[in-house]
Amino acid sequence: MPPIPRNQYPHYPRTKLFLQAMESLGMFLRSPRRVVSLLVWGVPALGKAALAQSFPRLSLARLPLYRLAAVVPRVDLDTITWTLLLTAAVATSAALWATALRFQVRAKTSELRLSLEAQEKAHEFDAARNELLENIAQNSPLPQSMEKLALAIERQISDSACAIVMAPDGKSFANGRPCPVLIAPSLPSELHPEIVGALGKMFNPGDISDNENGVDDQSQVTTLLGILWAFGLSFCTAHTTIAFSGNGEAAGLVIVFLRRSSSIEPAESTILQSASRLVSLAGDHCRMYDRLLHEARHDSLTGLPNRTVAEDRLEQALGRTDRSKKQFAVFCIDLDGFKAINDELGHDAGDEILRAVALRLQNNLRQSDTLARVGGDEFLVIIEDCSGFAAAQAVAQSLITSLQQPFLLDKQQLWVSASIGVAMYPANASTAPQLRRNADLAMYRAKRLGGGQVVLWSGELTPAAKVFRKSSSS
C-alpha cells in the first residue's frame, strides 16, 4: 500500500488508528498464519494505540495492557501454538470433569430421591401397620382390618394386586363345608369363589412346609394366574407368603399378583414378611377373642348359653313378639334327685349327668329355641312362635319324656327326672323378670307335686310362694 501524503489528510493523527487497523486486516487476508499473530499481539497493539490517542497524558507504562503488548510481540509462533494446544487441553479436561461431575450429581440426586421415596413408603406402611394394630386391639371385624392391610401392600409394591386368605372361621361355607376367607379388594368379587376353590392343598396346613419364603407349588400359582387371565386380567406372576400362627399352623396366605415380569425385590419381600406376621397376629387375636367371648357367654360344663345370654335373648324375644303380635313360652327346668347323685357318686359323676341331660334336651328342641343353663341343675328354655298353652305343654312333656330313659355312667344306670314350670307371654306377664319369676313359681309347684311333671302358671301362688311374697313385702 503506497504511503498517504500528509497534506491530503490534515487530521492525520486522528486517522492513524484506522490506518493501522486496515493494515492489520490486509495482513490477515494475505495469510491465515498471521491470524494467530493478530490475535496475540495485534489486539494489544490496537488497544495501546487507542489508549494513546484517547488519553495522551495517561502513563501507558503502568497499564497491564501496555506491558502485555510489549511482551507478546517477542513470542514466536511455535510458543503460541503450544500455548493454544495447552489451553485447549485444559479446557477439554475441564469440560470432561464438569461432565463427570454432572453425572455424579445426577446419580446422587437419583439415589437420594429413591431413598426418600423408600423412607416415605416405609413410614406409610408403618402408619398402616399401627392403624391395623389399633383395629386389632379394638376387636374390629377381621375382614375390614385385612382389607386395609391388602391396600397398604399394594401401595408398597408397584403394579400389584394383593389377596389375603384367612383360615376357615366357621362362618363361611362352600358346598356345605367350612372354607377359607378371601380378602382381595382389587380383584373382582366374581373371582373370589374360584380363587378359594383353587387354593386346594396350598392352604392345607398338613401340606405346607415351614418355608417362610412362600409356597413352592408352582402349579397352584399357575392355576390362580389362569383364573385371572380368563377374566381378562393381565398379571405376569404371583408370589405367595404363608402366615403361621403361634402354634405353628398355617393361619393364612398373603398372595401378591404382579403385572411385571420381574420377581419380588428384597425390600418388598421384607414388607410381605411383616404383613404375614400381621395376618398371623390378627388371626390369633380374633380366635382368642372369640374363645373368650364364648367362654363369657356360655357355660363351660355343658357349652350351653349362660344366664346372661338367656336374659338377653328373653328381652329380644319380647321385642320380636310385640312387633309380630305373637306369643312365646318360657320353661324353668329343675332336675329331680340330682343332689343325691352328687352326694353319692361325686361331682364328676354329676357333671357327666348334666352334660348328658343338656344333650338330650337340646336334641328335642328346634334350632330357633334357646336352651340355657342358669344354675347348678337349673335350665331355662325359650320357645318362640308358640301357638298357646297346649303347644307349650306338649313341648315341655316331650322334654320330660326324653329324660325317662336311664343314663349309663361307668356301666351303672342312673335315672333323672325334671320338674318344668311354664309361663306364657303376654298372657302371664308383661316383662321379662315377671315372666321368669312366674315360670319359676310354676316349677316349684311341680316339684311340690312330686316332680317329673309340667305345671302351667295359672296366677295362683303355692303356699311357699305366698310365704315368700309376704316376707318380701314386710
With cell 386389632, the residue in question is: 136
Instruction: Give residue 329's pLDDT.
Output: 94
Same structural domain, 282 and 210: yes
d(CA 321, CA 280): 43
Instruction: Give residue 15's pLDDT.
Output: 55
Average pLDDT, the chain: 79
Instruction: Give residue 467's pLDDT.
Output: 35
Containing H/E element for 318? helix 307-324
Q: For the chain, what percent of residues have pLDDT higher than 70? A: 73
182 domain-assigned: yes
Band of residue 212 on the pLDDT scale cut at 50, 70, 90: very low
Cell numbers given for 426:
303376654
d(CA 270, CA 261): 19
Mean pLDDT calculated for residue range 81-89: 74
Whether the CB-CB separation of 101 and 121 falls below 8 Å is answered with no
Instruction: Give residue 395's pLDDT.
Output: 93
Mean pLDDT calculated for residue range 190-198: 84
Last residue of a domain, one of 60, 75, 90: 75
Same structural domain, 289 and 320: no
Backbone phi, psi, residue 403, to 5°: -95, 0
Nearest Cα residue to 337 out of 403, 282, 390, 385: 403
Task: Please say if the pLDDT value at position 122 is more than 90.
Answer: no
Last residue of a domain, one of 273, 296, 319: 296
Give the tens place of pLDDT for each residue, 149-162. Answer: 999 999 888 889 99
Backbone phi, psi, residue 378, to 5°: -110, 140
**More reliable by pLDDT, 284 or 372:** 372
Instruction: Give residue 412's pLDDT.
Output: 84
Same structural domain, 220 and 322: no
DSSP letter string over 377-394? SEEEEEE-S---HHHHHH
113 domain-assigned: no
Helix, strand, or coil (residue 8)? helix
365 domain-assigned: yes
96 domain-assigned: no
**More reliable by pLDDT, 27 or 88:** 88
With cell 446422587, the residue in question is: 108
DSSP letter, residue 305: B
Backbone phi, psi, residue 132, to 5°: -65, -40
Domain count, the chain: 3
Task: Please say if the pLDDT value at position 397 is more than 90.
Answer: yes
- Classify strands 378-383 and 412-414 as parallel, antiparallel or unpaired: unpaired
Cell numbers given for 6:
500528509
Same structural domain, 465 and 376: yes
Instruction: Give residue 305's pLDDT.
Output: 94
Whether the CB-CB separation of 161 and 257 falls below 8 Å is answered with yes
Give the tens place of pLDDT for each residue, 361-379. Answer: 999 999 889 999 998 899 9
With cell 490496537, the residue in question is: 46
Instruction: Give residue 315's pLDDT.
Output: 93
Q: For the chain, what percent of residues have pLDDT higher than 90? A: 25
d(CA 248, CA 205): 9
Give the tens place of pLDDT for each residue, 40-59. Answer: 555 555 555 555 655 555 55
Same structural domain, 364 and 417: yes
Task: Please say if the pLDDT value at position 473 is more than 50.
Answer: no
Same structural domain, 170 and 277: yes
d(CA 332, CA 419): 8
Nearest Cα residue to 282 out of 125, 167, 161: 167
Whether the CB-CB separation of 113 and 232 falls below 8 Å is answered with no
d(CA 251, CA 244): 5
Mean pLDDT calculated for residue range 414-432: 91
Task: Please say if the pLDDT value at position 145 is more than 60.
Answer: yes
Instruction: Give residue 402's pLDDT.
Output: 92
Same structural domain, 281 and 364: no
150 domain-assigned: yes
Band of residue 209 on the pLDDT scale cut at 50, 70, 90: very low
Band of residue 256 on the pLDDT scale cut at 50, 70, 90: very high
* C-alpha distance from residue 275 to each of 131, 248, 265 (Å): 13, 17, 15
Same structural domain, 348 and 446: yes
Helix, strand and coil in the chain, % to nearest 5: 60, 15, 25
Last residue of a domain, one of 296, 323, 344: 296
Same structural domain, 30 and 136: no
Domain CATH for 201? 3.30.450.80
244 domain-assigned: yes
Same structural domain, 243 and 323: no
Instruction: Give residue 119's pLDDT.
Output: 81
With cell 344333650, the residue in question is: 359
Contacts of 23 (CB under 8 A, 6+ apart): 1
Residue 460 C-alpha from the chain's centroid:
61
92 domain-assigned: no
Cis peptide preceding 426, ω within 30 of 0: yes
Contacts of 319 (CB under 8 A, 6+ apart): none
Which residue range is the domain that position 266 belongs to?
Answer: 124-129+131-296
Task: Please say if the pLDDT value at position 290 is more than 70.
Answer: yes
d(CA 301, CA 295): 10
Same structural domain, 217 and 338: no
Domain CATH for 311? 3.30.70.270
Instruction: Give residue 25's pLDDT.
Output: 55
410 domain-assigned: yes
Mean pLDDT calculated for residue range 267-279: 89
Give the tens place of pLDDT for each residue, 53-78. Answer: 555 555 555 555 445 445 444 445 56
Band of residue 380 on the pLDDT scale cut at 50, 70, 90: very high
Contacts of 195 (CB under 8 A, 6+ apart): 163, 182, 184, 187, 224, 227
Mean pLDDT calculated for residue range 95-105: 88
Helix, strand, or coil (residue 262)? coil
Task: Please say if the pLDDT value at position 423 is more than 50.
Answer: yes
Amino acid at 136: I
d(CA 242, CA 244): 6
Instruction: Give residue 421's pLDDT.
Output: 95
Give the tens place of pLDDT for each residue, 317-357. Answer: 999 988 888 899 999 999 998 888 888 888 888 899 999 99
Contacts of 355 (CB under 8 A, 6+ apart): 301, 302
Whether the CB-CB separation of 452 and 400 falls below 8 Å is answered with yes
d(CA 310, CA 474): 31
Same structural domain, 170 and 286: yes
